[in-house]
A and B are shown apart, each in its own frame.
Chain A
Amino acid sequence: MKYSAWQVFKEGLTGNKGWKPVWREPEPKAEYDVVIVGGGGHGLSTAYYLAKEFGVTNVCVVEKGWLGGGNIGRNTTIIRSNYLLEGNQPFYEKSLKLWEGLEQDFNYNAMVSQRSIINLIHSDAQRDAFARRANAMRLSGADSEILDKAGIMKACPFLDFDNARFPIQGALRQKRGGTVRHDAVAWGYARGADERGVDILQNCEMTGFIRDKDGAVVGVETAKGQIRAKKVAVCVAGSSSRVMSMAGMRLPIESHVLQAFVSEGLKPIIPGVITFGAGHFYVSQSDKGGLVFGGDIDGYNTYAQRGNLPVVEDVCEGGMAIMPMIGRARLLRMWGGIMDMSMDGSPFITKTDIPGLYFNGGWCYGGFKATPASGYCYAHLLATDRMHEVATQFRLDRFRRGLPIDEKGQGAQPNLH
């Protein structure tokens, strides 16, 4: 069924009885060309682009829970391409371009909203660093602008410009950045993949790899039995180390929790996404009116999908410092998600040393914006066995080769990225 305004109108007049389930609930086949482990945003977009762009349709996605239950449904929905390094920025710009055409492409309303992202500047040194970043963004074909104090006062008059510790002196703005309805992204990709013949198996945990006598991976053990595959593509975000350890691999990854917060619904007051990096706080406003905000990761290894109170306090202090009006809003909900923090803060889309086994992970707290390009580039790798040109540096062996992609220059300390 193709969704359209006409369809909504027609269903409205006929009692909404014609809507069909958005994807099938198939039984697994004995063998596929590609089995994708993990039905989050990245796994589903990989399946979609494999089928749509590369003609590989004999594909299944095994998901241990339900679609949208992982980080794809837990993040704060920010999209942007404002990175500095060559290994990252062209990739994120490709992703932003894919977001721009996504809803027409997969015929699903994901509420992509390019309402801009603003990074605040508080010092001359920070202005220099952001000017350099703005130039790097433009070199990759992205948009960027540096706002002076008057410019940011006009855009966000409610900020505390004369904050004693962090007076606001300007901002880096990317107008094409913004927000997207996160779970609609999972559903849209799932529907598009399913339509093209991909089997999506929910409540189907992968519990082990099947290896042949030479050690190659030739399938997976799952809650629904053995499924053989020519290629197994792991894509499990915060569970990366757990799943890859079943193949005997240790990863350059630690699992950490990031918390998110939403206030009661308010009338529109915030124009776009605002980040106060110096104070570890960022905020946007959802279409329902809630202020969606967050800050730092908790900072210790964890698989519990909840954080602790010190970070709650820290985030709320950051909000009060830069945007005092937030104190009038009541906090409605908060939650946590487990992310795979890598040793340089950058991701992996890569082959492994084990034939038949591919890995996508290490997305840290920034993988939502990457969802389209991550799926596209992973599909490219799975279909052609070559890296896509914007993802050549996301290799698992980059540390061994002395080529980390460390945006912050922090070194091998995951909780500092």
Chain B
Amino acid sequence: MIINHPLLGPRDAAEFVYKGDVGLIDRPDGMSDDLDTFHDYAYLRDNPAGEHQELWYHEQGDRSWLVVTRSTLTHEITKVELARDVARARGRSS
């Protein structure tokens, strides 16, 4: 698989480390959210067959986190964004 890095251009997926579902950006609030919310966040996944948004870390590159939109049926990648931008758009980061 080739991941089209927004800053560096096309890179071999082998340069990256795979983390998992993009939902991991939405960590619950440790002070106000309850245990069930944390359990679901840490352990449960949608694991869809089809379009999947997921976190990849460019460990052997510029160390940026990316959000890759990829089909789990064909491995086709349709979108690559900087995770920073996605997190900001979700109000997770300033």
**Closest residue to B75 on the A side, CB-wise?**
A304
Residues of A within 8 A of B21 (CB): 254, 301
Judging by beta carbons under 8 Å apart, are B44 and A300 in contact? no
Q: Which of A172-180, A245-253, A364-372 contacts B (4 or more CB under 8 A)?
A: A245-253
Q: Which of B13, B35, B40, B73 contacts A308 (CB 8 A)?
A: B13
Per-position 1/0 for B59-89, Cβ under 8 A of A? 0000000000010111100000000000000
Contact count band on A: 20 to 34
Residues of B within 8 A of A252 (CB): 43-45
Judging by beta carbons under 8 Å apart, are A255 and B47 in contact? yes
Q: Which of A242, A251, A301 contacts B52 (CB 8 A)?
A: A301
Judging by beta carbons under 8 Å apart, are B40 and A254 in contact? no
Name B23-38 residues within 8 Å CB distance of A. 35-36
Indicate if A15 sits at the interface (CB-CB under 8 A): no
Indicate if A58 sits at the interface (CB-CB under 8 A): no
A105 vs B12: C-alpha distance when bound (angstroms):
50
Q: Which of B45, B70, B75 contacts A254 (CB 8 A)?
A: B45
Residues of B within 8 A of A400 (CB): 35-36, 39, 43
Known interface pairs A242-B49, A254-B20; A343-B43 also in contact (CB < 8 Å): yes
Known interface pairs A310-B12, A414-B20; A301-B42 also in contact (CB < 8 Å): no
Nearest CB on B from A417, distance (A): 13
Judging by beta carbons under 8 Å apart, are A415 and B18 in contact? yes
Nearest CB on B from A363, distance (A): 15
Q: Is the interface of B mostly helix, strand, loop or mixed?
A: mixed
Known interface pairs A255-B72, A308-B1, A310-B13; A399-B39 also in contact (CB < 8 Å): yes
Residues of A within 8 A of B72 (CB): 255, 301-304
Nearest CB on A from B19, distance (A): 8
Indicate if A412 sits at the interface (CB-CB under 8 A): yes
Nearest CB on B from A91, distance (A): 21
Residues of A within 8 A of B73 (CB): 303-304
Add 19 more A-B contacts to A254-B20, A300-B18, A343-B43 (CB < 8 A).
Answer: A250-B40, A250-B45, A251-B45, A252-B43, A252-B45, A299-B18, A300-B70, A301-B21, A301-B52, A301-B54, A303-B49, A304-B73, A308-B13, A310-B12, A343-B42, A399-B39, A400-B35, A412-B43, A413-B20
Residues of B within 8 A of A (CB): 1, 12-14, 18-21, 35-36, 39-40, 42-49, 52, 54, 70, 72-75
